[in-house]
């Protein structure tokens, strides 16, 4: 099969199209013929091997799992022993540890769900990690669905234009929140179209010192000190930290550790989101998508051989929504220029 393979750490030049063996499957696993996969921040971290602390888990000198790609949508090719929920021919999507930028991927059946009925493979591949992170951060970690006050919860999403942010706006609205989106003026129109009640242009206004207070802040980019972000919370508000930047060694972990150390000494809740795959969450997202409450935002689709270019564009151009790799030839809507 064709796959994008990485033999060492570096920039996108380490990603090469190669012929590799089709993965074998065992009990509890299934083989998916990948129709589309999407690009995530995690793919960049694993390609470059940064932050360096991550190499303890993913490989000191080279990645233990050489094929990148964590979001897939496709068709079940075969199932292993003990798999009874799915059968060959099912249209499915999943978040996988690695291997999505390939014609076939093996995955545990417990991490797979049936695709939403109303969208394409390209759109479905944009959902698992980004939308799953948004749903987990808002509903499970931020407990937005449990808001009991008479007025709608006031939610601010810092980093509202990317993959996670574009889903977070829609999911927060579906959960009944009043949503403020922080993004650039270039992306304001999209944020409003997705349901944001208000947009703050971060190049003009610093939300941490603007004086407004929010019940929940979902921080996707981590571009402000935690103590500054807390200024924008109500006295009992909740800050959910998800990813963000940081140094070459610890990455966002330094900021997160500092936040957790100070958390016991403030009345506000500071919670860290460690995104985890969940078939139940994928089922919930499929319901939201099929109901029309959530729509995946795909900015651009690339053929498999242009995966390295897609990753470069993701890093350099700050995509609005998701960048998708059309893996199976007949699913490519047109060659990317």
Could you read off the pLDDT of 92-135 as tens digits, one per residue? 999 999 999 999 999 999 999 999 999 999 999 999 999 999 99
Supply 24's token pair: 């074998």
For domain 2-127+296-331, give its CATH number from 3.90.180.10, 2.120.10.30, 3.40.1280.10, 3.90.1150.10: 3.90.180.10
How large is the average pLDDT for residues 158-167?
A: 93
* Whether pLDDT at 244 is above 60: no
Q: Is the pLDDT of residue 59 over 80?
A: no
Measured distance CA(41)–CA(57) in Å, rounded: 17
Residues contacting 148, CB < 8 A, separation 6+: none
Q: What is the mean pLDDT of residues 304-325?
A: 91
pLDDT of 333: 44
Task: Write out the residue limits of the CATH 3.40.50.720 domain(s) in the chain.
Answer: 130-272
CA distance 39 to 311: 7
Give 205's contacts (C-beta < 8 A, 6+ positions apart): none
CB 47, CB 9: distance < 8 Å: yes
User: Which of the pair, 56 or 268, is modelled with greater confidence?
Assistant: 268
Domain covering 130-272 in this structure, CATH number: 3.40.50.720
Q: Which two tokens stand for residue 61?
A: 């000198």
Q: What is the pLDDT of residue 48?
A: 86
**Res. 13: pLDDT tops 90:** yes
> Residue 236 phi/psi, 5° resolution?
-115, 25
The residue-averaged pLDDT of 279-283 equals 96
Q: Taking the CA of residue 298 as centre, how many other CA atoms within 13 Å lie in the half-sphere pointing to its CB?
A: 20
Arithmetic mean of pLDDT, 234-253: 70
State the pLDDT at residue 250. Answer: 44
Take residue 332 and report the two structure tokens written for it: 């490519």
Domain with CATH 3.90.180.10 in the chain: 2-127+296-331
């Amino acid at each position: 099969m064709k796959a994008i393979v990485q033999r060492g750490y570096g920039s996108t030049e380490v990603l090469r199209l190669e012929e590799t063996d089709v993965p074998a499957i065992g009990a509890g696993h299934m083989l998916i013929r990948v129709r589309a996969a999407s690009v995530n921040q995690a793919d960049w971290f694993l390609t470059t091997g940064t932050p360096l602390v991550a190499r303890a888990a993913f490989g000191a000198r080279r990645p233990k799992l050489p094929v990148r790609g964590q979001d897939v949508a496709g068709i079940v090719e075969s199932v292993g022993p003990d798999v009874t929920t799915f059968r060959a021919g099912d249209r499915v999507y999943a978040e996988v540890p690695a291997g999505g930028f390939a014609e076939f991927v093996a995955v545990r059946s417990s991490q797979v769900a049936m695709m939403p009925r109303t969208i394409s493979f390209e759109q479905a591949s944009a959902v698992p990690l980004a939308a799953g992170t948004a749903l987990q951060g808002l509903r499970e970690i931020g407990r937005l669905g449990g808001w009991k006050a008479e007025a709608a919860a006031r939610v601010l999403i810092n980093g509202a234009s990317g993959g996670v942010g574009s889903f977070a706006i829609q999911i927060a609205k579906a959960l009944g929140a009043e949503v403020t989106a922080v993004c650039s003026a270039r992306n304001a129109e999209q944020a409003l179209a997705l349901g944001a009640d208000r947009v703050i242009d971060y190049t003009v206004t610093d939300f941490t010192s603007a004086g407004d207070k929010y019940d929940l802040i979902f921080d996707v980019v981590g571009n402000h000190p935690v103590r500054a972000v807390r200024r924008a919370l109500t006295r009992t508000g909740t800050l959910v930290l998800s990813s963000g930047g940081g140094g070459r060694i610890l990455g966002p972990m330094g900021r997160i550790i500092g936040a957790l150390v100070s958390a016991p000494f403030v009345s506000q809740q500071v919670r860290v989101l460690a995104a985890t795959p969940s078939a139940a969450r994928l089922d919930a997202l499929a319901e939201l998508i099929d109901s029309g409450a959530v729509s995946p935002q795909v900015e651009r689709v690339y053929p498999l051989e242009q995966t390295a270019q897609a990753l470069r564009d993701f890093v350099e151009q700050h995509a609005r929504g998701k960048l998708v790799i059309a893996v199976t030839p007949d699913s490519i809507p047109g060659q990317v220029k």
